[in-house]
Amino acid sequence: MTDPNTESPLDLETPDKTFLDSNELVINMGPQHPATHGVLRVILRLDGEKVLGLECVIGYLHRGVEKIAENRTYTMFNPYVDRMDYVAAISNGLGYCEAVEKLLSVEAPPRAQYIRVILTELNRIASHQLWLGTHALDIGAITPLFYTFRDREEILKIFEKYCGARLTTHAFRIGGLQYEAYDGFESDVKNFVSFVKPKIDEYEELLTTNRIWLERTKGVGVISGKDCIALGVTGPVLRASGVKWDIRKALPYANYKNFDFEIPTGQNGDTYDRYIVRMIEMRQSLRIIEQAVGGIPEGPIMAKVPKVMKPPVGEIYHSIEAPKGELGYFIVSDGSTQPYRVRVRPPSFVNLQALDLMCRNQLVADVIAVIGTLDIVLGEVDR
């Protein structure tokens, strides 16, 4: 990708050569490999254990989400977006609902905005927890996985109480919310915040200063901020490379401008920095939740939207900061009840393009670490 001179690993025929006499060994990882987070297939070109280059083969989970959108009304398409990044379904829903709201020129009432922010940030924490558990598991630490899943469970319980679903929640509606916050929602969220704060310290205790963790992550999968921007990489990966870009601050959506939080950045752009950035992001999310849960205003939860939505002819691009990076929706309306075209800019898909660059001249074991640190969800990559 960055070096046009290297031929594609797919072109290599594999003659009857062994490790010694050939400089290159082509190895296929996946799509059923335990460490590729679903059905990613990676074709590695190796010299010994050193990676000369790799190519991702995707599409094993393709369901045609974008095409489906063209045959559904705006409301009917809403649940489908949950199935893209299924570990951060609420963020997907937020992005879609806000994009359509923008197209319809309506705005969700403040109370709905607050509850949306709380749920989205909770979902960000859940997504990061799942990332941390699986990433640590890939590097060989089993225990963090169980810790993070224990605490993620509390978040899922709140979701379940709120809307009845745990994973693909379909929590938001175009124009606001369907459900009023249940009784005790605020105290549940407050309890969760005080519950999870020491738990994040617990994860860090296991990993942050662990010598082996440091050796496995420092200087691994380094990518510079310039390369990140060139490849369109966003989210924690971009921020760990030192670029202070967070859509919540840069192009505020929902009511994020009302909240006080910081954007963590790293310097080295290696796996360790990405880990630290995500850990701080979890804490910042808690900070946002604390502020939001104290100030939920009274009022309606649904804006006035027509029963049959017919947005005016035009197009809109709206992006939000999903846990994995910039999640954008590009919607073209032809004035009918169904969108003419929906294009999703999934952060995982774009971030995955950096894998080849980050893995060059690293070892095979680092590929696993880098795939983990990119935090991809194949449902979103393939759509």
Partner 1 sequence: MNPSVATNPPVATPFFFYGLAAVMVIGGILVITRKNAVHSALALITTLLAQAALYLMLYAPFVAGVQIILYAGGIMVLFLFVIMLISIERASKERQFNKQCLVGIAAAAALGGLLIAVFTTTSKGQMMFAEGPTSYVESQNTQAVAGFLFDRSTGMYMFSFEIASLLLLVAIIGAVVMAKKRI
Partner 2 sequence: MIQKFIQYVQSYLDSNQTPGAAGNIFWAVVYVLLVFVGLSIAVICMNWLERKILAHMQVRLGPMRVGPHGLLQPIADAIKLLLKEDIIPAEADKVVFWVAPFIVVLAAFTVFVVVPFGPTHAITDMNIGILFMLGVSSLAVLGIVTAGWASNSHYPLIGALRSSAQMVSYEVAMGLAVVSAIMMTSLNESSTGTLSMIGIVQAQLAQHEWFLFKFFPLGIIAFGIFAIAMVAETNRAPFDLPEAESELTAGFHTEYSGFRWSLFFLAEYSAMIAVSSIAVTLWLGGWLRPFPNALSGPTWDLAFSLIPGLTFLFLAGMCFYSTVRMPKHPLFRIQTIGLGGFGIVLLLIGLVLFIPAVRVRVSDIFWFSAKVAGFMYLYIWYRGTFPRYRFDQLMKVGWKILLPTGLALLIVTAIWAMRSAVWADVVVPIWLAFLDLLRRIF
Task: Decide if residue 18 touches partner 1 (CB under 8 A).
Answer: yes
The residues that bridge with 53 in the sheet, in sequence order, are 45
Smallest separation (angstroms) from partner 1 to the CB of 5: 21
CA separation for the pair 127, 349 (Å, rounded) = 16
Residue closer to partner 2 by CB (options 302, 364) is: 364
DSSP state of 250: H
- 21 touching partner 1, by CB under 8 A: yes
Can you tell me whether residue 72 is helix, strand or coil? coil
* Residue 19 binds partner 1, judged by CB under 8 A: yes
Return the number of the residue (47 or 205) whose C-beta is nearest partner 1: 47
In the complex, the smallest distance separating the C-beta of residue 215 from partner 2, rounded to whole angstroms, is: 5
| Choice from 20, 298, 304, 307 touching partner 1 (CB under 8 A) | 20
Own/partner pairs for 277-282, CB < 8 Å, 24+ apart? 277/236, 277/239, 277/240, 278/128, 278/131, 278/132, 278/236, 278/375, 279/128, 279/132, 279/200, 279/203, 279/204, 279/208, 281/124, 281/128, 281/236, 282/124, 282/125, 282/128, 282/129, 282/200
Closer of 153 and 262 to partner 2 (Cβ): 153
Q: Which is nearer to partner 1, 5 or 18 (CB)?
A: 18
- CA distances from residue 178 to 83, 175, 205 in whole angstroms, order as listed: 19, 9, 40
Question: Segment contacting partner 1 (CB under 8 A): 6-14, 16-24, 26-34, 319-327?
Answer: 16-24
> Shortest Cβ distance from residue 219 to partner 2 (Å)?
11
Chain residues in the site for partner 2 (CB under 8 A) = 27, 33-35, 49, 136-143, 145-147, 150, 206-207, 210, 212-213, 215-216, 363-366, 368
* Shortest Å distance, C-beta 211 to partner 2: 9
Query: 177-205 burial, b for 16+ CB within 10 Å, e for fewer?
Result: beeebeeebbebbeebbeebeebbeebbe
Number of residues that bind partner 1 (CB under 8 A): 6
Alpha-carbon distance of 65 to 46, in angstroms, equals: 35
Cβ contacts of 204 within 8 Å, gap of 6 or more: 279
- Out of partner 2, partner 1, none, what residue 243 binds, judged by CB under 5 to 8 A for its kind, is none
The residues, any chain, with a CB within 8 Å of residue 49's CB and separated by 6 or more, are 363, 364, 365
**Residue 248 binds: one of partner 1, partner 2, none (C-beta under 5 to 8 A by kind):** none
Residue among 14 and 18 whose Cβ is closer to partner 1:
18
Residues in the chain: 383
Q: Which tokens is 375 given?
A: 């935090």
Give the Cα separation of 321 and 327 in Å (integer): 6
Burial group, residue 96, by CB count within 10 angstroms (0-12, 13-18, 19+): buried
- Of 35 and 122, the one with the shorter C-beta distance to partner 2 is 35
**Binding partner of residue 16 among partner 2, partner 1, none, CB cut-off 5 to 8 Å per kind:** partner 1
∠147-149-152 over CA atoms, to 5°? 110
Residues 16, 183, 260, 298: which binds partner 1 (CB under 8 A)?
A: 16
Query: Which of these ranges, 17-25, 234-242, 248-256, 261-269, lies near partner 1 under the rule CB under 8 A?
Result: 17-25
Q: Find the shortest distance in angstroms from Cβ 363 to partner 1.
A: 17
Complex with partner 2: residue 210 or 291, whichever CB lies closer: 210
According to DSSP, residue 298 is labeled P
Question: Minimum Å distance from CB 357 to partner 2?
Answer: 20
CB of 141 to partner 2, least distance (A): 4
CB 6 within 8 A of CB 53: yes
CB 140 to partner 2: min, Å: 3
Residue 27's binding partner, choosing from partner 2, partner 1, none, with beta-carbon cut-off 5 to 8 A by kind? partner 2
Q: Is 8 helix (H, G, I), strand (E, B) or coil?
A: coil
Which does residue 20 bind out of partner 2, partner 1, none, counting CB within 5 to 8 angstroms by kind? Answer: partner 1
Q: How far is the CB of 375 from partner 2 (least distance, A)?
A: 15
What residues line the site for partner 1 (CB under 8 A)? 16-21
